[in-house]
Amino acid sequence: MKGAVTGNGRDELLGWLRGELAGILSVYKKSDEFDPAKERILSQLIIKAQKVSGGKRVMGEANSLLMGIDLGTSRTMVKTNRDVRVSVDSVIGYPKDIISAKVLGSHVAYGSEALEKRSYLDLFFPLEDGVLKEGSQRDIEAARDLLKHAVSLANPNDEAFKVGIIGVPAIASFSSKEALLAIAKDVLDVAMIVSEPFMVAYYVQKLTNSIIIDIGAGTADICGMKGTVPGLGDQVTILKGGDYIDKVLEKRISEAYPDVQMTLHLAKRIKEQHSFVGKPDKAVTVKLRVDGKPVSYDLTDIVGSACETIMPDIIEHLERIVIGFDPEEQETALQNIYLAGGGAKIRGLDKYISDRLSDYGDVKVQTVDDPDYAGCSGGLKLAMDLPHQYWDEVGDVVRR
């Protein structure tokens, strides 16, 4: 029949209809005009739509759970259309033996619990440089468990149709995307992968003549937004981020003060509390332990120099992104540079970048609101705004 809705389109329409009818029925039951006969008619319509669509759950249903997901090297974050925010360290711990399993009381521990109980767990950090580690089946399983756990924390009910937009580094490889989509298909009903800086741009609604700098634990991504989905030439991934700073900081403190008991975890804590680039606004004095005793050290120069180790690459690629804009648009782009990710909280970063780009004209660098969640907030907004039939035009999509 001409104009008939068939296949996936029919299923989507019926799913939407079921959701609408269920919503009407819920409101009607609470009204003063409630009529059991009319309730039966509505219920029968819902059941009929369910049977005709073969029981499939589809996007658009009233119970759909929409999520923006930042599957990061250090932390995995989720934000949902039900006003739920989730953050968990990207680490999984499995018991070393049967005794460890008994002590743990479970077959797996996640995030901070896994770190706290690491003495009797085998720890897996399944993400590296912002993507899945390759070559280890156990890491793939750990990544799947991590995503399942993060989604479960978002409190979906068993009947919820789970839809997620997942951020990846700007220049993630084809194999990395394929591996992530395979995992996402096991956890979500529909998933789309897009670049992390694009999700940030969508969050702040700066989709043209702007530049996003997203500094995470594993990578720093830079993206020039030109009014379209960014292509390969519009964005770049630098394999240096917060984790790189941690390693440099640990090494330099150990070299400067050999007697100090230093760990990578402690270096990370120092960085998170005292990171800066450029001229410091105050001295960085930290108590460290020597032979178990606390001793105060001035780490100002060491912390500043460690944080600045990632900056030459960022400035070099940022200049290339600026030049990639049309000449008449470069001035506007320079006035719209946005910082996101955990690295956005490095003190003095905005001024450092502005000073280094001063030869190009007036520069304005600002940090987005809620920089840690900017990526998943943009992913959620995109999931809510973009009709699903256009998803394949924006990113890589997998459907169950």
| Reduced 3-state DSSP string for 272-318 | HHHCECCCCCCCCEEEEEECCEEEEEECHHHHHHHHHHHHHHHHHHH
117 lies in some domain: yes
In a shared domain, residues 128 and 79: yes
Given the structure tokens 């292509």, which residue do they identify?
A: 231
CA distance 209 to 106: 51
In a shared domain, residues 44 and 75: no
Is the Cα torsion angle 160, 110, 369, 200 positive or negative in sign?
A: negative
- Which residues, 6+ apart, have CB-to-CB distance to 163 below 8 Å? 59, 64, 65, 66, 67, 188, 189, 190, 191, 383
Which of 161, 151, 159 lies closest to 59 in space, CA to CA? 161
Angstrom CA distances, 392 to 40, 81, 174, 192, 197, stand at: 40, 21, 15, 8, 18
Highest mean pLDDT among 152-156, 159-163, 263-267, 303-307: 303-307
In a shared domain, residues 171 and 74: yes
In a shared domain, residues 98 and 146: yes
pLDDT band, very low/low/confident/very high, at 135 (cuts 50, 70, 90): low
Residue 363 CA to chain centroid, in angstroms?
27
Return the higher-pLDDT residue of 316 and 139: 316
> In this model, does residue 348 exceed pLDDT 80?
yes
Render 145-181 in DSSP notation, one character per residue. HHHHHHHHHT---TT--EEEEEEE-TT--HHHHHHHH
CB neighbours (10 Å) of residue 315? 14
- Which residues, 6+ apart, have CB-to-CB distance to 327 below 8 Å? none
In a shared domain, residues 16 and 86: no
Is the Cα torsion angle 101, 102, 105, 110 positive or negative in sign?
A: negative
143 lies in some domain: yes
In a shared domain, residues 30 and 148: no
Confirm if 20 and 44 have CB atoms less than 8 A apart.
no
229 lies in some domain: no
Residue 95 CA to chain centroid, in angstroms?
28
275 lies in some domain: no
261 lies in some domain: no
Please state the φ and ψ torsions of residue 169, each to the nearest 5 degrees.
Answer: -55, 155
79 lies in some domain: yes
> In this model, does residue 25 exceed pLDDT 50?
no
Domain that holds residue 152: 65-201+375-399
Indicate the average pLDDT of the chain.
85
Given the structure tokens 């956005």, which residue do they identify?
A: 344
- Which residues, 6+ apart, have CB-to-CB distance to 83 below 8 Å? none
In a shared domain, residues 36 and 141: no
What's the confidence (pLDDT) of residue 2?
42
CA distance 248 to 243: 9
- Which residues, 6+ apart, have CB-to-CB distance to 169 below 8 Å? 129, 130, 131, 195, 196, 218, 219, 221, 237
What's the confidence (pLDDT) of residue 45?
54
In a shared domain, residues 85 and 144: yes
Return the higher-pLDDT residue of 79 and 74: 79
What's the confidence (pLDDT) of residue 165?
95
Q: What are 244-262's pLDDT values in tens digits?
A: 999 999 999 999 999 999 9
In a shared domain, residues 46 and 75: no
For residue 121, the domain's CATH number is 3.30.420.40
Confirm if 267 and 246 have CB atoms less than 8 A apart.
yes
What's the confidence (pLDDT) of residue 95?
93
> In this model, does residue 155 exceed pLDDT 80?
no
Highest mean pLDDT among 32-46, 348-362, 375-389: 348-362
Confirm if 306 and 271 have CB atoms less than 8 A apart.
yes
In a shared domain, residues 89 and 145: yes
293 lies in some domain: no
In a shared domain, residues 195 and 69: yes
Given the structure tokens 């379209």, which residue do they identify?
A: 228
Confirm if 226 and 328 have CB atoms less than 8 A apart.
no
Highest mean pLDDT among 16-25, 60-69, 316-325: 316-325
Q: How many domains does the chain have?
A: 2
